[in-house]
Homo-oligomer: A and B are copies of this chain.
Amino acid sequence: MQKKSKIPEPTIARLPVYFRCLMDLKNSEVTIVSSEELATRAGVKASQFRKDLSYFGEFGIQGLGYPVLHLLDRISVIMQLNRKHNAVLAGVGNLGNALIRYPGFSRWGFHITRLFDKDPAKIGTIVEGITIEDIDKITGRLNAQIGIITVPPDAAQETAELLAEMGVKAILNFTGKKLEPGHGVVVRNVDLTHELAILTYHLSTLKGK
């Protein structure tokens, strides 16, 4: 396992939200924003926002607020959103197809450069300009640090190991299966069912009133 950073995971998960809000402010040509205003936009308390930022340094100007461009720039460096990232995607099913066309990815500098599948009917076909390759015939390094895995759960672990061998350092896992890709590879699990379960929890709190 890689060394854990001391910054809490929920803080890291909020950084993209702040980044997005700052982008909106920049597009509206706002130059200075208060912590209250930005926190409201991000849906958190101002104290939470200030605490999250405090892990990374001092950004605000006393009595004035945060310079939008400066903060945007700093967060983009912290999250490495100041440069392009190549990603490969394994498993060109329904979800894979949706992700290949997901408009947010390229807007933030993420580019899916190669597609892999096992299905002979898919291999060789072209999706959004990219030819689907046989995952069992990958050789050499992938020139991508990010792997998006949308294969069936049973194929998840072998796919993760394969991509890790080919140089992938970060995996976005949509399979619902826990992955152990090996030393030095970070995994982020996305289970969209969990999102619905979180909603039904909140439904119960609505009803309780």
Answer yes or no: A196 CB below 8 A from chain B CBs: yes
Answer yes or no: A198 CB below 8 A from chain B CBs: yes
**Docked pose: A99 CA to B190 CA in angstroms:** 13
**Docked pose: A104 CA to B174 CA in angstroms:** 11
- CB within 8 A of A146: which of B146, B176, B199, B201? B199
| Cβ–Cβ contact B202 & A170, under 8 A | yes
| Cβ–Cβ contact B193 & A105, under 8 A | yes
Interface residues on A, range: 35 or more
Answer yes or no: A137 CB below 8 A from chain B CBs: no
Interface-central residue, A200, A201, A209, by most chain B CB under 10 Å: A200
Answer yes or no: A58 CB below 8 A from chain B CBs: no
Query: Would you give the 0/1 interface string for A62-102, flagging 1 where the beta carbon is closer than 8 Å to chain B?
Result: 00000000000000001111000101000001110111011
Of all chain B residues, which has the CB nearest A108? B193
Answer yes or no: A2 CB below 8 A from chain B CBs: yes
| Cβ–Cβ contact B172 & A195, under 8 A | yes
Answer yes or no: A13 CB below 8 A from chain B CBs: yes
Stretch from A14-22, A30-38, A155-163 that touches the partner? A14-22
Closest Cβ–Cβ distance, residue A13 to chain B (whole Å)? 6
Q: A104-B193, A186-B199 are in contact. List 18 more A-B contacts (CB 8 A).
A: A9-B10, A12-B202, A13-B198, A16-B194, A79-B197, A80-B203, A85-B200, A104-B192, A105-B196, A108-B196, A108-B197, A110-B193, A145-B203, A170-B200, A184-B206, A186-B206, A188-B199, A190-B192
